[in-house]
Amino acid sequence: MAYIIAEPCIGVKDRSCVDACPVDCIYEVEDQLLIHPDECIDCGACVDPCPVDAIFHEDELPDKWKSFIEKNKSYFVGKTGLTPAQRKG
Protein backbone atom coordinates (compact mmCIF):
# COMPACT_ATOMS: atom_id res chain seq x y z
CA MET A 1 0.00 0.00 0.00
CA ALA A 2 1.01 3.59 -0.48
CA TYR A 3 0.06 7.02 0.69
CA ILE A 4 -2.40 8.98 -1.45
CA ILE A 5 -2.69 12.70 -2.00
CA ALA A 6 -6.36 13.69 -2.24
CA GLU A 7 -8.53 16.64 -3.25
CA PRO A 8 -7.37 19.22 -0.67
CA CYS A 9 -4.05 19.45 -2.57
CA ILE A 10 -5.68 20.53 -5.83
CA GLY A 11 -4.59 24.06 -6.61
CA VAL A 12 -2.42 24.27 -3.48
CA LYS A 13 0.70 22.18 -4.15
CA ASP A 14 2.43 23.45 -1.00
CA ARG A 15 5.42 21.11 -1.48
CA SER A 16 6.22 20.73 2.23
CA CYS A 17 5.58 17.03 1.74
CA VAL A 18 8.15 16.91 -1.06
CA ASP A 19 10.84 18.25 1.25
CA ALA A 20 9.89 15.71 3.95
CA CYS A 21 9.88 12.65 1.68
CA PRO A 22 13.09 10.63 2.15
CA VAL A 23 12.76 8.78 -1.18
CA ASP A 24 11.58 11.56 -3.53
CA CYS A 25 8.40 9.73 -4.58
CA ILE A 26 6.19 12.83 -4.79
CA TYR A 27 5.69 14.38 -8.20
CA GLU A 28 4.09 17.63 -9.28
CA VAL A 29 1.45 17.28 -11.99
CA GLU A 30 -0.98 19.74 -13.52
CA ASP A 31 -3.33 20.39 -10.64
CA GLN A 32 -1.76 18.71 -7.61
CA LEU A 33 1.04 16.56 -6.22
CA LEU A 34 0.94 12.77 -6.56
CA ILE A 35 2.80 9.94 -4.83
CA HIS A 36 4.30 7.22 -6.99
CA PRO A 37 2.83 4.02 -5.51
CA ASP A 38 5.82 1.85 -6.47
CA GLU A 39 8.35 4.25 -4.94
CA CYS A 40 6.52 5.08 -1.71
CA ILE A 41 8.05 3.26 1.27
CA ASP A 42 5.00 3.85 3.49
CA CYS A 43 6.98 5.87 6.03
CA GLY A 44 4.35 8.59 6.50
CA ALA A 45 6.93 11.38 6.63
CA CYS A 46 4.85 13.41 4.18
CA VAL A 47 1.63 13.42 6.22
CA ASP A 48 2.32 15.90 9.03
CA PRO A 49 3.99 18.61 6.90
CA CYS A 50 0.93 18.86 4.61
CA PRO A 51 -0.82 22.12 5.58
CA VAL A 52 -4.14 21.09 3.99
CA ASP A 53 -4.34 17.53 5.37
CA ALA A 54 -4.47 15.99 1.90
CA ILE A 55 -2.29 12.91 2.47
CA PHE A 56 -3.70 9.62 3.73
CA HIS A 57 -2.59 6.03 3.83
CA GLU A 58 -4.54 4.22 1.12
CA ASP A 59 -6.39 2.17 3.78
CA GLU A 60 -7.45 5.32 5.65
CA LEU A 61 -8.54 7.50 2.74
CA PRO A 62 -12.02 8.99 3.33
CA ASP A 63 -14.68 7.45 1.08
CA LYS A 64 -15.37 10.78 -0.63
CA TRP A 65 -11.81 10.73 -2.03
CA LYS A 66 -11.48 7.05 -2.99
CA SER A 67 -11.18 8.07 -6.68
CA PHE A 68 -7.77 9.55 -5.87
CA ILE A 69 -6.36 6.05 -5.40
CA GLU A 70 -6.82 5.42 -9.12
CA LYS A 71 -5.70 8.96 -10.03
CA ASN A 72 -2.44 8.51 -8.13
CA LYS A 73 -1.79 5.05 -9.59
CA SER A 74 -2.89 5.64 -13.18
CA TYR A 75 -0.74 8.74 -13.61
CA PHE A 76 2.42 6.65 -13.34
CA VAL A 77 1.38 3.77 -15.64
CA GLY A 78 3.89 3.52 -18.48
CA LYS A 79 6.06 6.37 -17.18
CA THR A 80 9.67 5.49 -16.55
CA GLY A 81 12.80 7.53 -16.03
CA LEU A 82 11.19 10.46 -14.25
CA THR A 83 13.87 12.93 -13.24
CA PRO A 84 14.23 15.01 -10.07
CA ALA A 85 13.12 18.06 -12.07
CA GLN A 86 9.87 16.30 -12.88
CA ARG A 87 9.52 15.30 -9.26
CA LYS A 88 9.96 18.74 -7.83
CA GLY A 89 8.26 20.78 -10.50
Q: Does 57 map to a domain?
A: yes
Question: What pLDDT digit, counting tens, does each position of 19-75 carry?
Answer: 999 999 999 888 999 999 989 999 999 999 999 999 999 999 999 999 999 998 898
> Is the pLDDT confidence value at 78 over 50?
yes
Q: Does 86 map to a domain?
A: no
Residue 51 maps to which CATH number?
Answer: 3.30.70.20
Q: What is the pTM of this model?
A: 0.86
Averaged pLDDT for residues 10-23: 93
Domain around 15 = 3-78
Q: Does 89 map to a domain?
A: no
Q: Decide: 22 and 43 in contact? Cβ < 8 Å.
A: yes
Q: Decide: 40 and 3 in contact? Cβ < 8 Å.
A: yes
Q: Does 48 map to a domain?
A: yes
Q: Does 83 map to a domain?
A: no
Q: Does 66 map to a domain?
A: yes
> Is the pLDDT confidence value at 85 over 70?
no
Strands (E), the chain: 3-5, 26-28, 33-35, 55-57
Residues 6+ apart with CB under 8 A from 18: 24, 26, 28, 33, 46, 87, 88
What integer pLDDT is reported at residue 40 of this predicted model?
Answer: 93
Per the structure, the count of domains in the chain is 1
